[in-house]
Structure 1
Amino acid sequence: MARFNTRATTARTTSPVASTGVLAPTHEGGRGHLRDARSELFLLAVANFVSQQSFYESGADRDDRFATLVRGLAVEDPEWTAGLLGWLRGEGGLRTASLVGAAEYVKARLDAGAADGPANRAVIASVLLRPDEPGELLGYWTSRYGRNVPKPVKRGIADAVRRLYSGRALLKYDTASKGYRFGDILNLVHAAPDPAKPWQGELFRYALDRRHHPDTAVPPPGNSVLSAHRALMALPVKERRRAVLHAPDGAERLAAAGLTWEALAGWLQGPMDKRAWEAVIPSMGPMALVRNLRNFDAAGVSDEVAARVAAKISDPEVVAASRQFPFRYLAAHRHAPSLRWSYPLERALGHSLANVPALGGRTLILVDRSGSMWAPLSDRSRLNRADAAAIFGTALAVRADDADLVQFGSHSAPVAYRTEESVLKVLARFGDLGGTRTTEAVRRHYRGHDRVLIVTDEQSAHHRDGGPTEQIPAQVPVYTWNLAGYRTGHGPSGTAHRHVFGGLTDAAFRMVPLLEAGRSADWPWQRG
């Protein structure tokens, strides 16, 4: 009689976020499960906006825990840690955490005298993807460790400078508000021009002149952007509106001169009126457009221009390329001043969730709406983890073949939806439900589903019947999406059909179908 080779036999799959078997209480007193250091760092990194307080941890405590984990793993497991940091800045879209992590990685390895693993220089360069980031990294390093910058840090920054510095970058990011100007960075890291960019030597000299001799600095004659910018700056202030904004080619001149919307008001030395916005809108990026919808309406931009803005911000390819988190569009939708932006933002939000998996069979989706989930995502954000969880949970539900969508806190209740409805309409049906009684919600609503997904911060309250994942039969997959990165989880993970993911990214979305196809999932930067 066959015992193992049967049609019911399934492969034992694993996922990367793994618990250790050590128990510790959650912040709400439930039975929590500690994770290994790599898993703890990953979940914290994808949920950490750096220096931002969460419900249960101060910003300083989170930052200390993040830095401690990075420093330890930089020495113990440099290959994995370097991969995490590069992925965070690239596909993960988390800028500050990756910059801080790279600095702490190099500091730890220099202190330990470690010579194995990826080069420190390469790790620094891997997280610098925007022209203002060399200055950001230097600002962090010198504020934490003083002005003695080690050679690997300098060389990594120099590599990024050669890759990133251009005339447009200089005009956009080399501003007086920065502690480290482009010229300061060039003086410090001694970056040689890229041999493949013969114009870069003159650009570097101009950046140095702008910093040290601004009154006499002359842009390189061969750089069309800097020359066009200089021509605009030479116009008398009183003539600028008439000469540019009232001209048929005004928008093209502003774009050719690299004049951003932030710089335009200063150049005009006056208000951003209808003509000013309509002239600069064609050269604005999608998220700059989204952030300024209220300003467009206040200035009275025409319906024709507004239609072009709406088309751009809701274009699926533009949304995918911008790699913005869904809650950015939710924030814009909530604060957009007029109805003409509502539908484009609704479409953009839907496009940002395009890679949420379409699940077959029956699925139970539990969305945490407890008090701890209502803390803002960051000090500058009006949005919170509760709404981020509801957006994601709803997107999963409307794409699934057959899903029960439930919100939970101190009590729980189904959330009605139709598969053709937009995520935003369903979001309005969620509420604030108090405590975190995850186990009770699972026990009440699980009815033989093929899988269970829980979107939460994992800080469940004590329950005499055990943790949330213990309520589900062992052969049924339970997927937890962790949105806060606290140290303890509400159940074991990494194997035996119990998996935890962090962050609302495409990498996390891909893991459910992978695991259900009987394939083990690896860290997103290590997939084959």
Structure 2
Amino acid sequence: MLVAPHVSAGARRLAATRPVPGSTVRNPRTYEGGPAYVREPREELFLLAVAHFVSQDTFYESGAYREDRYTALVARLAVEHPAWTAGLLRWLRAEGNMRTASLTGAAAYVRARLAAGSCEGPSNRSVVDSVLQRADEPGELLAHWTATYGRAIPQPVKRGVADAVRRLYTSRSLLKYDTPSKGFRFGDVLNLVHASPDPAKPWQGPLFRYALDRRHHPERAEAPAGDRLLTAQRALLGTPADERRALITGPGGAERLAEAGLTWESVAGWLHGPMDAAVWEALIPVMGPMALLRNLRNFDEAGIADAVAKRVAARIADPEEVARSRQFPFRYLAAHQHAGPRWADALEAALGHSLGNVPALPGRTLVLVDRSDSMFWDTFSERSTLSRADAAAVFGTALALRAEQADLVEFGWRSTPVPYASGEPVLDVLKRFHRLGGTDTTKALRTHYRDHDRVLVVTDEQALPYGPQGPDPVPRRVPVHTWNLAGYRPAHGPTGPNRHTFGGLTDAAFRMAVLIENGRRAAWPWAAGE
């Protein structure tokens, strides 16, 4: 039988462009040919959205195919269920922390409703405003719109972007995000949407004029006289090149950088010299936790002092910092795989803190973690080297460790228990997982289900048609919760009473499982309004 690693690239592309099983298909199948179920459109969109990275190829679907499917679903539901779709897009950008999917989804939402002449539900303007949470995102949304739909920008888009501009444009955000690498600079956005300054922010008018001059007349651009941040940065950037290093590494260097709002990225380009230990040690006090996380290898290569490294490790492992960062746990796992050994304990602690919302489930729980080949082929994003298989193992292990009593099992074409001890570090348990070929979920359930109170499955759902299927190995009265990491359309099981599928690995999805088991009404992680 042909399994995932032996499928040629051409065969994968063919599979990705063939018609997807839908309601008109009599016997839908997974991409590996196993029995499949067709999802209700809202469930399909939710699963795809939380696993969605624009233009990223996956094992069974091309990036373009997934993007088209995502856009088509948003467009359909924006007209059929506008309040639900608006809630999804807002949640994606906020609690879901998914930037690209929320921005492209908002554009599709507006375009579909304008084409249909629909006015029901949340306004197009409010939906655009709701997904713009960072000061570079107004420009990103406009760049996406013009590249995808043309240069004619509808008024609801312009007004929603203008609302966001008044919220987000400050002198600090201008210094951080108004850079030549951006397709749409702050001045371009202001020219397009004609945002007027917020009357409650008297400093915003001069700032907008400065942003326009920076973009269109840099020779005459002067920072507003009363803006201390912009004035301090202008003075610092004007320092002669041969004096810059001493300015950073000398007494008061960190405070000077903070006053001028210089980030480590801007210092690296401005310094015209090596980013050695002295420079990094001056920068570290003004770097955020995620900037620290991204530069652990650079710190080691530069040879920062052990005392400084201890302070960095303490910040990375600080539970409040972890909570504020809102990073997915696999970010810490990826850092752990690539950073030096002196960061291992801090990253293990941070990973533990990031899993704080995983429920401590009562009774006996069976946790199945998919280790099939397709889980290794795909990564969680096009910028990440972490496979879905490892991310699934992190969450499955965390669920087992937090549960009152749990059996942790890895499965593919075969399945085997993964031993662990109560209180054991997650990253230690990960070393016991393997790569297990094709996907036989049903066989794993038949082998390992022994009157458990619930079953939790972390998978991409694309099961092979191994042998006769027979009856469901888990009684219908027992909850089966599936976390789908890929957002593929064919499902490995039905939805309904005691059968629930969640997209991705967000904290909200874990909370939903607890709500369901408490006998409450199953609800989306936002107030759907319908």
Is TM-score (shorter-chain normalized) higher than 0.5? yes
Q: Deviations over 1:321-378 (max 9, x none)?
A: 11111111001000002x2211000100111111101111111110000011112222
Give the match for residue 146 of structure 2.
Answer: 142
Give the match for residue 80 of structure 2.
Answer: 76
Contact kept, 8 Å, 1:53 with 1:378, in 2: the verdict is: no
- Tell me the percent identity: 66
Q: Give the alignment partner of residue 265 of structure 1, picking from 240, 244, 268.
A: 268
1:95-244 equivalent positions in 2, closer than 5 A: 95-242=99-246, 244=247
1:30-429 equivalent positions in 2, closer than 5 A: 30-242=34-246, 244-337=247-340, 339-374=341-376, 375-429=378-432
- Tell me how far 1:306 sits from its aligned partner: 1.2
- Tell me how far 1:303 sits from its aligned partner: 1.6
In 2, distance between residues paired with 1:267 and 1:455?
A: 46
- Tell me how far 1:106 sits from its aligned partner: 0.4
For residue 91 of structure 1, what is the amino acid of its counterpart?
E
Contact kept, 8 Å, 1:41 with 1:69, in 2: the verdict is: yes
Segment of structure 1 superposing worse, 345-354 or 370-379: 370-379
Segment of structure 1 superposing worse, 455-464 or 359-368: 455-464
- Tell me how far 1:454 sits from its aligned partner: 0.7
For residue 501 of structure 2, what is the amino acid of its counterpart?
V
> Helix, strand or coil: the match of 1:277?
helix
For residue 512 of structure 1, what is the amino acid of its counterpart?
A
For residue 442 of structure 1, what is the amino acid of its counterpart?
L
- Tell me how far 1:514 sits from its aligned partner: 1.3
- Do residues 440 (structure 1) and 443 (structure 2) align? yes
For residue 272 of structure 2, what is the amino acid of its counterpart?
Q
For residue 366 of structure 1, what is the amino acid of its counterpart?
L
Q: Deviations over 1:236-291 (max 9, x none)?
A: 1111112x123211101101111011100221112211222112211211111100
For residue 505 of structure 1, what is the amino acid of its counterpart?
T
Contact kept, 8 Å, 2:460 with 2:487, in 1: the verdict is: yes
In 2, distance between residues paired with 1:245 and 1:90?
A: 36
Give the match for residue 526 of structure 1.
Answer: 527
- Tell me how far 1:380 sits from its aligned partner: 2.0
> Helix, strand or coil: the match of 2:225?
coil
- Tell me how far 1:22 sits from its aligned partner: 7.4
In 2, distance between residues paired with 1:240 and 1:381?
A: 34
For residue 271 of structure 1, what is the amino acid of its counterpart?
P
For residue 427 of structure 1, what is the amino acid of its counterpart?
L
- Tell me how far 1:436 sits from its aligned partner: 0.3
In 1, distance between residues paired with 2:257 and 2:88?
A: 39
Segment of structure 1 superposing worse, 268-277 or 117-126: 268-277
> Helix, strand or coil: the match of 2:500?
strand
For residue 386 of structure 1, what is the amino acid of its counterpart?
A
For residue 525 of structure 1, what is the amino acid of its counterpart?
W
Give the match for residue 16 of structure 1.
Answer: none
Give the match for residue 12 of structure 2.
Answer: none
- Do residues 502 (structure 1) and 506 (structure 2) align? no
Give the match for residue 8 of structure 2.
Answer: none
Aligned length: 506
Q: TM-score, normalised by structure 2?
A: 0.93
RCO comparison, higher one (Cα < 8 Å, 6+)? 1
For residue 311 of structure 1, what is the amino acid of its counterpart?
A
> Helix, strand or coil: the match of 1:481?
strand
For residue 238 of structure 1, what is the amino acid of its counterpart?
D
Give the match for residue 10 of structure 1.
Answer: none
Give the match for residue 488 of structure 2.
Answer: 486
Contact kept, 8 Å, 1:286 with 1:312, in 2: the verdict is: yes
- Tell me how far 1:379 sits from its aligned partner: 2.5
Contact kept, 8 Å, 1:23 with 1:34, in 2: the verdict is: no
> Helix, strand or coil: the match of 1:51?
coil
For residue 367 of structure 1, what is the amino acid of its counterpart?
V
Question: What are the ranges of 5 or more consecutive residues in structure 1 without an aligned counterpart?
Answer: 1-18
> Helix, strand or coil: the match of 2:218?
coil
In 2, distance between residues paired with 1:95 and 1:202?
A: 29
- Tell me how far 1:527 sits from its aligned partner: 7.7
For residue 357 of structure 1, what is the amino acid of its counterpart?
P
Question: What are the ranges of 5 or more consecutive residues in structure 2 without an aligned counterpart?
Answer: 1-21
Q: TM-score, normalised by structure 1?
A: 0.94
Give the match for residue 512 of structure 1.
Answer: 513
> Helix, strand or coil: the match of 2:416?
strand
In 2, distance between residues paired with 1:22 and 1:419?
A: 47
Segment of structure 1 superposing worse, 408-417 or 261-270: 261-270
> Helix, strand or coil: the match of 1:480?
strand
In 2, distance between residues paired with 1:377 and 1:199?
A: 41
Contact kept, 8 Å, 2:249 with 2:282, in 1: the verdict is: no
For residue 502 of structure 1, what is the amino acid of its counterpart?
G
For residue 454 of structure 1, what is the amino acid of its counterpart?
V
Give the match for residue 12 of structure 1.
Answer: none
In 2, distance between residues paired with 1:50 and 1:418?
A: 39
In 1, distance between residues paired with 2:84 and 2:423?
A: 42
- Tell me how far 1:465 sits from its aligned partner: 4.0
- Tell me how far 1:388 sits from its aligned partner: 0.9
In 2, distance between residues paired with 1:190 and 1:304?
A: 50
CA RMSD of aligned residues (A): 1.5
Q: Deviations over 1:411-449 (max 9, x none)?
A: 110001011111100011101100001111110111111
> Helix, strand or coil: the match of 1:29?
coil
Contact kept, 8 Å, 1:286 with 1:313, in 2: the verdict is: yes
In 2, distance between residues paired with 1:307 and 1:150?
A: 52
- Tell me how far 1:224 sits from its aligned partner: 1.0
> Helix, strand or coil: the match of 2:357?
coil
- Tell me how far 1:466 sits from its aligned partner: 2.6
CA shift in 2, pair 1:22/1:155, >3 Å: farther
In 2, distance between residues paired with 1:98 and 1:22?
A: 33
> Helix, strand or coil: the match of 1:518?
coil
Q: Deviations over 1:64-114 (max 9, x none)?
A: 000000011111111110000000000001000000000011011111111
In 1, distance between residues paired with 2:262 and 2:148?
A: 34
